[in-house]
Amino acid sequence: MKQAFITGTSRGLGKAMAEYLLNEDWTVVGIGRSHSIEHDNYKAVTADLSLAGVAENVALEIDLRADEHLLVNNAAEAGEIGYFGNVSNNQFQRGFQLNLISPSILMNRFIQLTNKSLSIRKIINISSGASVNHYDGWGMYCSSKAGLNALSMVLIDELEQRNDYRTHVYSIAPGVIDTDMQQVIRNASKKEFSQVERFIAMHKKHHLTSAKIAARKVLSYVVSEPPPRSGRVDVREFILT
């Protein structure tokens, strides 16, 4: 038996990852504001991770019978695309809570709660090219994803210090996916995001990856045996067979 916890499963990459694992006979707990999956092995946990205090209290019911546990921090938002001085203060609070603070708390709780198990433990933090590339108008998103990368690497270092070889952590950039977030980016003003035309062109030229393909790339890599080495990776380096 294998159990996964995935945030943001109502649509896009999160939903595609949940469906992939369900087809591979995993049990999946989806955490999000809404749900669109109906499956005997899917449990919906309704929670808004953009709100302070929610990640600390959201139900993480670990099944100690499982021989593998997986946490996927997928839920995120681009927030308002705009220059400093032109965006609301609330978007920083909401964006950092959803993109960085809630994932860090869920990572901490996941490690604590699975310490009683002897299972293989895996954490996937969905990163972005924006975590290592600085885009004007993307202050919150770039910095929150960079922070998630840093959290991943700190945890990897700690696991090595503890000689913990059953826990694997991945910060994975899934590429440019055809999701609602990309629609938000394409609608941005050129005055607030100088590279908007490049993203519009990628969409017109059909250069966006489908959520299903991205999910398959991410998960076929992470759930392989033996588990790949922990670290930061980009799915554009993967070749599907």
Q: Where are the domains of the chain?
A: 2-175+211-237
What share of the chain has pLDDT > 90, as a percent? Answer: 73
With cut-offs at 50, 70 and 90, classify the pLDDT of residue 236: low
**Residue 187 burial by Cβ neighbours in a 10 Å radius (0-12, 13-18, 19+):** exposed
Query: CB burial class (10 A; 0-12, 13-18, 19+) of residue 43?
Result: middle
Q: How much is the average pLDDT of 29-58?
A: 96
Please compute the mean of the pLDDT values over residues 61-68 and round it to a whole number. 95
The position carrying tokens 């899934």 is 174
Q: List all residues 6 or more positions away from 218 whose beta carbon is below 8 Å from its beta carbon.
A: 13, 17, 124, 126, 172, 174, 235
Name the least confident of 62-76, 104-118, 221-235: 221-235
Model pLDDT, residue 238: 54
Q: Which CATH number applies to 2-175+211-237?
A: 3.40.50.720
State both tokens at 95.
């964006």
pLDDT of residue 225: 76
Is the pTM here over 0.85, yes or no?
A: yes
pLDDT at 198 over 90: no
Check whether 214 has a pLDDT greater than 60: yes
